Amino acid sequence: MTVIKDRRMDILQAALHIFSKKGYHNAKIEDIAMEAGIAKGTIYQYFSSKQDLFQQMFRHGVERYGQSLQEIATNESHIRDKLLALAQSHGKFLEEHIGMSEIMPKESKLMSKEMRCWVLEQRDHAFSSLEEMIEQGIALGEVREDTDKGVAVLAIIGSLFAYYEKESRNKEMKFEEISPMPWVDFILRALQ
Amino acid sequence: MTVIKDRRMDILQAALHIFSKKGYHNAKIEDIAMEAGIAKGTIYQYFSSKQDLFQQMFRHGVERYGQSLQEIATNESHIRDKLLALAQSHGKFLEEHIGMSEIMPKESKLMSKEMRCWVLEQRDHAFSSLEEMIEQGIALGEVREDTDKGVAVLAIIGSLFAYYEKESRNKEMKFEEISPMPWVDFILRALQ
Amino acid sequence: MTVIKDRRMDILQAALHIFSKKGYHNAKIEDIAMEAGIAKGTIYQYFSSKQDLFQQMFRHGVERYGQSLQEIATNESHIRDKLLALAQSHGKFLEEHIGMSEIMPKESKLMSKEMRCWVLEQRDHAFSSLEEMIEQGIALGEVREDTDKGVAVLAIIGSLFAYYEKESRNKEMKFEEISPMPWVDFILRALQ
Amino acid sequence: MTVIKDRRMDILQAALHIFSKKGYHNAKIEDIAMEAGIAKGTIYQYFSSKQDLFQQMFRHGVERYGQSLQEIATNESHIRDKLLALAQSHGKFLEEHIGMSEIMPKESKLMSKEMRCWVLEQRDHAFSSLEEMIEQGIALGEVREDTDKGVAVLAIIGSLFAYYEKESRNKEMKFEEISPMPWVDFILRALQ
DNA sequence: AATGAATGAGAATTCATTCAT
DNA sequence: TATGAATGAATTCTCATTCAT
């Protein structure tokens, strides 16, 4: 069985790595090519421009994050387990996409209007999943009925990011090693 | 009475505006000069480089944010009022510094090591103030004793950012017009 | 048979020409690129900066001059023939490197400390070769025994430059056409 | 008696100092102003441009050198004393105008055509004086009759510059402290 | 006359993109 | 299809010069 190398995927991976490490403007096409083990020109066989590469990479990452989040939010387990899984998944994602959360730029050039729309849609999807999670929690009697779902979701996401960011900076540990329990406990207190 | 124009301040303001709108790399020195109503070269009379300008602007913003946060966190009022004030101050700050939260880049070139340290210090100051706020709340019986202060602070900050970001994007309103009440209520539920 | 173009050499040649004609600061990178028949950016594929280009060009020229001088000074011929060869070689060199003698600048920025050292070393090498030439002349009875070798060498070099400079300016002839005989005769009188 | 400060002279002095130290292009007008103890703008009250300042400074230096040389060359003393005086005067001049010999650039922008002509004229004057010196030496029987005056003059000047340059670089002494005797002896051997 | 803040033309350098091999 | 040398638009920064005070 031959290993079929998917050049496109190699490049996407390399782009993720380099963009995350250096940010869009400091990442050189050549860096990415080198990381992918190919020549500069080859990238243009698969992507029409640096911007295109960035957008496709971004889209790829967002999709995967959204999927994983949806799966967790809509499975059958208890709210506590879901929050736990959410946090773990977030940590794992950060491990791979380290720095990605910091490169989403406002620059209109980087994000076409459609792309921006798509990102917001994806976010809304994700938020819907999480709101559904809250609803299920309410249905199961695990979450207080008077919970403002919208705010709860924002607080969950916002504090999750802040928590991982702070923890990873203070203790020099990998994202996956960070214990999500304190965060889960805190959130649960607001929900229950 | 002559109006004394403080060129340096003008430039700092213009820089804040342009950097926020376009991001560091897409903001041209000439844009900033134009916004400040001066010529390109004049900027270099007050700042040694684009990077220097960025850092001074950034420092200026961070300092002001930190001060306002500290004042609120350590005054005499109840926890609810403090959270409210915090949110309002945040909204007001975002109004002026629109987009600033999105331009803090990972790029090591933009942030000298000392600068980075200083920023983290400032953050720690801010976090300390907020932890103190929680403690006072506990002392006053307004906050549950078993609250994990560190996590609480992270959740407060993280969810505050997320809340304002989402609200402002959905409803097209100014930051100052966003009602902080839903957020305050949610956070209080976790604390009480 | 394809003509293999050595871009690096082309650029070095062009740089020599332009720097010689205009001096370091008035020589624009674009001028040099144009002279070399390439685009501005291409120069930076071969040299890291204008300064780097200057230094490499300079080093190249100095090396060649030093080699030719050493060969002449240490061969087997009589002192008169050596002086003659020296002058001819100098003329030929000036023809190619026209103006080079006038661009060696004091500016510390143009010459790194190591480069400066290297240049002085090269000079010392050259002077040693010439002193040896004088010694051989003494050994052969062609030069007076009481000759101060150090001063003689300086006088030879200094007057050689002055001679060619003056002659070329007065009579509008090429360097190679200038007769070195009057100079040789004068120097010999000091040596014999 | 009040000391009448001649601003123009102050500036000329400062310019000489700074241009000599840094070369034309690296000398900033502000540097010169600072050295002269005045403000940048003031220079433009006395000189129409940087170039004008350079030329006037240059002219001033060349004139003084030429005068001193002429005086020495045409006085009544013996050839040996004249050469000695020449060397001493040269050393003294270098002391004041340190580096000046290295800033005369080819750049056509720095030297107007008339200026260039004038410089060459001055040189011819100087050379005439020196040729006259040789002639007097011949008349007095101190110099061989068959001396090629033109070449002799060139050799005198060329070797004088080389001698001082080398000596000053090797031994770290001031120009005035360098003994001109070895040089005088060598030149005399060629002349006698 | 003296000042020095403001100006803006001009130059070095970078790097995404092209295209001949 | 893959390459990487060549390109040149775009941007930062410098500093001689001006001019209102």
Give the pLDDT score at D173.
81
Rounded CA-CA distance D40/D32 in Å is 8
pLDDT tens digits along C137-192: 999 999 999 999 999 998 899 899 888 888 887 777 888 888 999 999 999 988 98
CB–CB of D188/D80 below 8 Å? yes
- Window 151-180 of D: residues touching C by CB (8 A cutoff) are 151-152, 154-163, 166, 169
D143-180 as b/e, with b when 16 or more CB fall inside 10 Å?
beeebbbbbbbbbbbbbbbbbbbbbbeeeeeebeebeb
pLDDT tens digits along D91-101: 888 777 766 65
Distances (CA, A) of C57 to B53, C30, C47, C146: 38, 16, 10, 40
Give the pLDDT score at B132.
93
CB–CB of A175/A125 below 8 Å? no
CB–CB of A21/A99 below 8 Å? yes
Please check whether residue C124 touches D, CB under 8 A: no
pLDDT tens digits along A75-108: 888 999 999 999 999 888 877 776 665 555 556 6
User: Which of A99, A154, A185 comes nearest B166 by C-beta?
Assistant: A154
Give the pLDDT score at C78.
93
Mean pLDDT for the stretch of residues C45-56: 95
A102-136 as b/e, with b when 16 or more CB fall inside 10 Å?
ebebbbeebbeeebeebbeebeeebbebbeebbeb
Of all residues in chain D, the one with the smallest CA distance to C99 is D106
Q: Which residues of C touch D156 (CB under 8 A)?
A: 159
Burial of A148 (0-12, 13-18, 19+ CB in 10 A): middle
Q: Which residues of D touch C156 (CB under 8 A)?
A: 159
pTM for this entry:
0.87
Residues with CB under 7 A from strand E: A 26-30, 40-41, 44, 49-51; B 7, 38-42, 44-46; C 27-30, 40-41, 44, 48-51; D 7, 38-42, 44-45
Distance of CA C69 to the CA centre of its chain: 9
Which nucleotide lies nearest residue D38, CA to C1'? E2
The more confident residue out of B102 and D190 is D190
Q: Does the distance separating the beta carbons of A159 and B161 come in below 8 Å?
A: no
pLDDT tens digits along B34-70: 999 999 999 999 999 999 999 999 898 888 889 999 9
Residues 6+ apart with CB under 8 A from C135: C149
Q: Does the distance separating the beta carbons of A107 and B186 come in below 8 Å?
A: no
- Window 5-44 of B: residues touching A by CB (8 A cutoff) are 20-26
Please check whether residue A186 touches B, CB under 8 A: yes
pLDDT averaged per 10 residues in sequence order, chain A, 192 residues: 74 92 90 96 97 91 88 90 92 73 59 79 89 93 92 90 83 83 91 88
Give the pLDDT score at C1.
44
Q: Does the distance separating the beta carbons of C169 and D144 come in below 8 Å?
A: no
**In chain B, which residue ranges form alpha helices assigned H by DSSP?**
7-22, 29-36, 40-46, 50-73, 79-96, 113-139, 149-170, 181-191
The more confident residue out of C118 and C52 is C52
Q: Does the distance separating the beta carbons of C103 and D102 come in below 8 Å?
A: no
The more confident residue out of C2 and B14 is B14
Mean pLDDT for the stretch of residues C67-93: 91
Mean pLDDT for the stretch of residues D63-85: 91
**Chain B: closest CA distance from residue A75 (Å):** 25
Please check whether residue A120 touches B, CB under 8 A: yes
Size of interface C-D (CB pairs under 8 A): 116
Using the structure, give the distance in angstroms from the CA atom of C158 to the C1' atom of F4, rounded to a whole number. 48
Q: Does the distance separating the beta carbons of B190 and A190 come in below 8 Å?
A: yes
Q: Does the distance separating the beta carbons of B187 and A148 come in below 8 Å?
A: no
Which nucleotide lies nearest residue B36, CA to C1'? E6
Give the pLDDT score at C134.
94
Of residues A93, A87, A84, A86, the one with CA closest to residue A64:
A93
Q: Which residues of D touch C147 (CB under 8 A)?
A: 186, 189
Neighbours of D75 (CB within 10 A): 12
pLDDT tens digits along C85-118: 999 998 888 777 766 655 555 566 677 778 878 8
Which nucleotide lies nearest residue A45, CA to C1'? F1
pLDDT tens digits along D18-65: 988 888 889 999 999 999 999 999 999 999 999 999 999 988 888 888
E strand or H helix at A12 = helix A7-22
Give the pLDDT score at A131.
94
pLDDT tens digits along B132-146: 999 999 999 999 999
User: Which of B23, B104, B162 comes nearest A107 by C-beta?
Assistant: B23
Percent of chain D exceeding pLDDT 70 equals 91
Count, residues in chain A:
192
**In chain C, which residue ranges form alpha helices assigned H by DSSP?**
7-22, 29-36, 40-46, 50-73, 79-96, 113-139, 149-170, 181-191
pLDDT band at C35 (very low <50, low <70, confident <90, very high): very high
Q: Which residues of A touch B102 (CB under 8 A)?
A: 104-106
Residues 6+ apart with CB under 8 A from D13: D36
